[in-house]
Chain A
Amino acid sequence: MTETKRRRVIIIGSGPAGYTAAIYAARAELEPLVIAGSGADPKIGIPGGQLMLTTDVENYPGFPEGVTGPDMMDLFRKQAERFGTEIVYADATSVDLSERPFRVETAKETYLADALVIATGAAAKWLGLESEKKLQNRGVSACATCDGALYRGKEIAVVGGGDTAIEEALFLTRFATKVTIIHRRDELRASKIMQDRAFKHEKIEFLWDSEVVEVLGDNDVTGLRIRNRKSDEESDLAVGALFVAIGHVPNTGLFQGLLATDDQGYLTLEEGTWTSVEGVFASGDVADKVYRQAVTAAGTGCAAAIDAERWLAEKEAEPVQPATTETVAEATT
């Protein structure tokens, strides 16, 4: 038999957004509970979020010498715990947002939350190659802004053909001697203006109709094996790093049909961090397909906690009313 515990604020997710929300909620004496994830299901992610897969973080203010992703998340966690945050290392398996308090299930427990902060993040899409997985953080990355500077003076490849890939490639030209964009088709999906910038850039080359079939290198990336999809011929490209820019997937599976999302599955926000259900707030990459940075996630985590606190204060000043059920059948933008 599972035990039901009620909390004023429950935060699902333990990346920069989740822990920052926890710090602010804890300091507001809301005694938050963080459902941090178990790490058992890679589709849901691991406690600490995407930064746990990042070696060097050099763009988070306050760390002039840089910090590793896991070390930074350890500091976030400690800071949240210092103010009384309780952390549960389990995966949220289902949620019921049809009435308040909201119900959050894990494998072992059922929790009730007066307010809910969703900070489940997003995951980069990968090519799915064994060699890609082996060399992640050793030349394979999905974030140029995060890792680009680590490959200064090297030739770099970017996989993808959308705006994100072109943005990543243009950003990487600051560090790389050459950037090769590898795209499966013979034309880009990116906006015209982005295409023009890339075509005009003297450091950017294109390999069309091509896909990466293997990332080469034992300890670090030394090259890529490329297959041309039309000719079925293979070649090798000597690069020191590969940036995969084929998109991200927000971790919103738990909320499908319960909260409004856009056509890519990101939670849509109505005002501040308010989701389509009153009392449910969202922060971090789960609702951000534009910036996707640790620092912006932390910022929206703060905002979500403040929104939750103010909303709870307003509710506590009102007589108790049953929650309005708002079920979203289809994604809206």
Chain B
Amino acid sequence: MKRIERKGFWLGVTFLLVFGLARVWTISAGARQDIVGEKAPAFEIATVAGEQFSLEQMRGKVVVLDFWAVWCGPCVKSMPFFQTLSEKYGADGLEVVGVHVDDRMPPPEEVGTYLEKLGVSYTNLLSTVDVDNEFMIYAMPTTYLIDREGVIVKRHIGFNPSKTPDRLQEDIRGLLGLD
């Protein structure tokens, strides 16, 4: 049974209209509702640097919310791309925010050192179980695209250096109104 059949015809049509032929990972969350198309769940958690971060602060910006973990190979491959995105489109209103997910949560300084080594300077947060659950985090990287009104318009799981950047960049440029 395909997810689209379960979620209803109109949700499927909307999805296809918005994203055209873009292929995204399909994930179904048991009895839970899909959050794509809904307001992003509000949260306030600490950054790696120890400051408080609220997603509400980002209202008016296009947000790339990327859930990752230090042990996740594809995540590591994806981070230089997100750094490039941050630098390239920051002035156009893009905010890239990493969210470190790990049940065996390493100390923040360890995550910070790791990010430094990777040359990552965009904001990174330390997730909580509640945030992971709200955003239905299973496989990583899981990347959400959130529009200027705070609505989740896409969930993307996985990374392929030769394919994913073009796919995501196209969507991001559309949300920024650059195309």
Contacts and interface: CB of A to CB of B under 8 A. Distances in A.
B139 A237 contact: yes
Dominant secondary structure of chain B at its interface with chain A: loop
Interface of B: 1-3, 6, 23-32, 69, 71-75, 102-103, 136, 138-142, 157-160, 163-164, 167
A233 B160 CA distance: 5
A89 interface: no
Interface residues of A, number: 36
A60 to B, nearest CB: 33
Contacts of B29: 205-206
Contact of B30 (A205, A228, A234, A235): A205
A206 B27 contact: yes
A110 interface: no
Nearest to A225: B73
Nearest to A198: B30
Contacts of B72: 223, 235-236
A330 to B, nearest CB: 34
Given A187-B2, A223-B71, A236-B72, A231 B27 contact: no
A296 interface: no
Interface stretch (A3-11, A65-73, A207-215, A266-274): A207-215
A228 B158 CA distance: 8
B23 A230 contact: yes
Interface string A64-99: 000000000000000000000000000000000000
8 contacts: A178-B138, A205-B138, A222-B71, A227-B158, A230-B23, A236-B73, A238-B69, A238-B103
Interface string A216-245: 100000110111101111111110000000
Interface centre among A192, A200, A228 (most CB of B within 10 A): A228
